[in-house]
Amino acid sequence: MAFPKHRQVVLRELNVSQVSVDITPDELVSLVAMVRDSRALSFTDEDLPPEGRDRTRPLRITILCNKKKVPEVLVDNGSALNVCPLSTAITLGFGLDDFIPSEQGILAYDGTRRDVIGILATEIEIGGEIFEVEFQVLDIKTSFCLLLGRPWLHKVGVIPSTLH
């Protein structure tokens, strides 16, 4: 509350939301995190895995793409690309004709150079919101179905939980 701009935002949201005077600090934090028209991935202690805060697993979510449920979508703010393995694209019903040609090569996590098969421009749905995403399609084996990296994070303005 020491910063005037932050204080204004918090007070405005509390006034609009008609917050009870009996609200707990945790409930207040959750409420402020859901500022109108913002897009955020937020978590509470109930979302923690059994091992608690000392987890080292990556953040994975489930989305809809091409009207199909896609589990194991890795959200990685360390990735410079959105990645779609070729096997996932085929499973979702996309073919080579759906890809925008690309001559780009990338350096994979294991340090090897991989050629991009093409770019898949598609819509995905997360939490009822629709997002236009461009994925680099690669013929690789992965532990994820899709990877949403910095291009998607920056475009939609989300900030993944710092817990991850």
pLDDT band at 36; cut points 50, 70, 90:
very low
Report which of residues 143 and 15 the model is more confident about: 143
Each residue of 112-155: pLDDT tens digit? 889 999 999 999 999 888 999 999 999 988 889 999 999 998 88
- In this prediction, residues 28-39 reach a mean pLDDT of 56
What's the chain's Rg over C-alpha atoms?
19
Task: Give the number of other CB atoms < 10 A from CB of residue 89.
Answer: 25
Q: What is the pLDDT, as a whole number, of residue 161?
A: 59
Query: Is the distance from CB of 10 to CB of 1 less than 8 angstroms?
Result: yes
Q: What is the mean pLDDT of the chain?
A: 81
Query: Is the distance from CB of 151 to CB of 134 less than 8 angstroms?
Result: yes
Give the pTM. Answer: 0.67
CA neighbor of 161 nearest in space, from 38, 50, 58, 32: 58
Report which of residues 155 and 51 the model is more confident about: 155
CA atoms of 57 and 45, how far apart (whole Å): 16
Question: Using alpha carbons only, what angle is made at residue 58 by residues 36 and 134, rounded to the nearest 5 degrees?
Answer: 65
Each residue of 77-96: pLDDT tens digit? 888 899 999 999 999 999 99
Domains of the chain: 1-38 (no CATH), 59-156 (2.40.70.10)
- In this prediction, residues 19-34 reach a mean pLDDT of 68
- In this prediction, residues 26-55 reach a mean pLDDT of 61
CA atoms of 162 and 93, how far apart (whole Å): 34
* CA 67 distance to own-chain centroid: 18
Instruction: State how far the alpha carbon of 105 is from the alpha carbons of 114, 116, 117, 118, 138, in Å.
Output: 5, 6, 9, 10, 10
Q: What is the pLDDT, as a whole number, of residue 78?
A: 83
